[in-house]
Structure 1
Amino acid sequence: MVGAGVLFGTTGTAQALGPEGMDPLSVGAARQFSGGLLLALIGLVGWLRREGVRLPRPSAKLGWVLLGGAAIMAFQATFFAGTRANGVAVGTVIALGCSPLFAGLFEWLGGTRPSRRWLLATAVAVAGLVLLSGVLGSVGALDPLGLLASVVAGASYAGYAVAAAVLLRRGVHALISTTALLGTSGLIAATILPFTDLGWLAEPRGLVMAAWLGPVTVVAAYLLMGTALRTLSAATAVTLGLAEPITAAALGVLVLGETLTAPQWAGLAAVLAGVLIAGTRGRTRWSSLSRPQGLR
């Protein structure tokens, strides 16, 4: 899961090194379409090897696939809307900061009580994220719709994690569940692409960026996340995924020449501490996770 967070964290730097004037929605849709298509092909090969040509019977699992796929695209659209309305720092801290809280809430509603270690790890990491974002002392009046969009983005990311975890608990293979969810998001992205400006793909830097965003930050990252959710609760996985802002900040300093203030360095250390706390917990009691009550 930390590996997935690291790959997610390269997205901002990749876009910063791409062509100027790109439409963020077109980049997000192209990323999900290309990555989702590749994952769908991988999943199809895996399905044929495991099940032959036999088609799956419709079941409640299909609802979780549709929910998870829609959640991924909802995250793309609402995250960019939130950052556009209130700035990258504020939009990011709200979306990433509330996503572990939503994951814990969703699992609690499903009958799984978050551990004290997770609560501590999340509190430390979210506090660090606030410091890392640099929003303290610089936030003016917030756009209410932008604030709502960022909160929905956090809930959407958590919703994907919970949907993927439920599919795994119900016996769906990690590869099949991940590719089904991302393939669904790719289909949704395909309906958005014709209405966006894709001129940046005609530039060499745009092609290089697309080649990184799709195969690496979608295919590889979500396969790692799917594997992690086999043995982690969704709440813990989302907290560990806060390795993403750590990576983004580090690349901003090392690659883009950005500088961090003392409070931001402290925030970086706090987020790292939260990830370490979440990643060194004891054994998970899967008896309560295997059959979430209310997530059927």
Structure 2
Amino acid sequence: MQGKLSAFLILFAAVLWGTTGTAQAFAPENAHPIAIGTIRLAVGGLFLLSLVLLFGKFELKNWPIKATVLAALSMALSMALYQPLFFTAVTVTGVAIGTVVAIGSAPILSGLLEWIFFKARPSKIWWVSTFLSISGCILLFTNRESTYVDPVGVVMALGAGLTFASYTLASRDMVQKFSSLNVVAIIFTISAIFLAPFLFIFDMSWVASLQGIGVSIQLGVVATGIAYFLFAKGLANVSSSTAVTLALAEPLTAALLGVFLLGESLNTTAWLGIFLLIMGIAILIGSSRAANRKNKTAVRATL
């Protein structure tokens, strides 16, 4: 039950991430994408930090400072780099190619990193589900008009995929040792500090409008604070490679919201992509459930 619940927590987090594109569509016209990403981390970090202070669960004395600082800095840097890399990739090479390369490469890179650093070879089920999910993602985004491939944009997108995979890998180790809320609060606060210089580079006047405040709260509180807390909770019992594949529910959510809220249309190929995405995610959740049953049986046999 625990493995299945963790998978659903990550899935729900991905659904919340999928609302970011729709939220950005409602942002004021003078809001630069990188400025939106910066505000997203700032609001998310403050929200999570407020929760920690409110519930009084932060106990730094129990954390090994050296190991914690190194892990926290690597996670925060990964998350801080993801924002400008992803938004720049989308700007340079278009939404379709940028999103497919960034989101599609993340599960593969995560599986490789997990294999290299933790000697945990991905299972056959993971390869099948990841192949189906990435194929679905590619088919889904062939619906978009932008098909221009820019080498610089592709490299930026791969960088975004690598930073997300790195964040997930480091995060899993942290949330298994410490409170998930404490971990994400520290990481996103540091990430926001890393991106703080962008607040002085781009026009931030849009944040003061009612529209800007609404978008900032949605992106910061819902799509960042709550989403990454759920993601961290789920990571405690799910491998990083599986978690990143489940996160492919993000483009699925974004596409469906585009249809139902923004009036976008999907062709037959895109709907096929949605079907493959759902199939890949369902296989992973099913495998988590089967693995949990197997572990329970093994435990009972030893009693």
Q: When the two structures are superposed, what TM-score results if normalisation uses the length of structure 1?
A: 0.90
| Cα distance in 1 between the residues matched to 2:57 and 2:211 | 37
Deviation at 1:234, TM superposition (A): 0.6
1:137–1:248 Cα change, 3 Å: closer
Which structure 2 residues correspond to residues 85-96 of structure 1 after superposition, within 5 A? 85-96=92-103
Tell me, yes or no, if structure 1 residue 206 matches structure 2 residue 212.
Answer: yes
RMSD of aligned residue pairs (Cα, Å)? 2.0
- Summarize the Cα distance change of 1:103–1:61 in structure 2 as closer, same or farther, 3 Å threshold: same
Deviation track 1:208-263 (CA, whole Å, cap 9, x = no partner) reads: 11111111011100010011001101110111111111110010000000000000
Residues 47-196 of structure 1: pairs in structure 2 closer than 5 A: 48-49=56-57, 51=59, 54=61, 56-110=63-117, 111-134=119-142, 139-140=147-148, 142-169=149-176, 171-196=177-202
Q: Which residue of 2 is the match for residue 244 of structure 1?
A: 250
Distance 2:197 2:54 in 1: 24
Asked if the contact 1:43–1:180 (Cα under 8 Å) also holds between the matched residues in 2, the reply is: no
Count of residue pairs brought into register by the alignment: 282
The 3-state SS of whatever aligns with 1:280 is helix
Aligned to 1:294: none
Tell me the residue number matched to 2:51. 42
The 3-state SS of whatever aligns with 2:265 is coil
What is the CA-CA distance between 1:182 and the residue it aligns to? Answer: 1.6
Mean Cα displacement is larger for which, 211-220 or 181-190? 181-190
- Percent identity over the alignment is 34
Unaligned segments of structure 2, at least 5 residues: 1-9, 296-303
Q: What is the CA distance between 1:136 and its match in structure 2?
A: 9.1
Q: Is the 8 Å Cα contact of residues 130 and 136 (structure 1) preserved in structure 2?
A: no
The whole-number CA distance in structure 1 between the counterparts of 2:58 and 2:139 is: 47
Q: Secondary structure of the residue that 2:203 maps to in structure 1?
A: coil
What is the deviation of 1:272? 1.1
Q: If each structure's helix is expressed as a fraction of its own residues, which one has the higher value?
A: 2
Aligned to 1:293: none
| C-alpha distance after superposition, 1:164-189 (max 9, x if no partner) | 101134x1222222222222212212
How far apart are the structure 1 equivalents of 2:241 and 2:62?
32
Cα distance per residue 1:39-92 (max 9 Å; x no partner): 12323455x4463x7474422232111111111111101000100011011100
Answer with 211-220 or 182-191: which moved more: 182-191
1:20 to 12, 26, 29: 29
Using the size of structure 2 for normalisation, the TM-score is 0.88
Partner amino acid, structure 2, of 1:139: T
Unaligned runs of 5+ in 1: 287-296
Which shifted more, 75-84 or 36-45?
36-45
Are 1:246 and 1:271, in contact at CA under 8 Å, matched by a contact in 2?
Answer: yes
* Secondary structure at the counterpart of residue 211 of structure 2: helix
Alignment-mate amino acid for residue 259 of structure 1: S
CA distance in 1, matches of 2:42, 2:208: 17
Distance in 1, Cα, partners of 2:134 & 2:145: 17
Q: Partner residue of 1:6?
A: 15
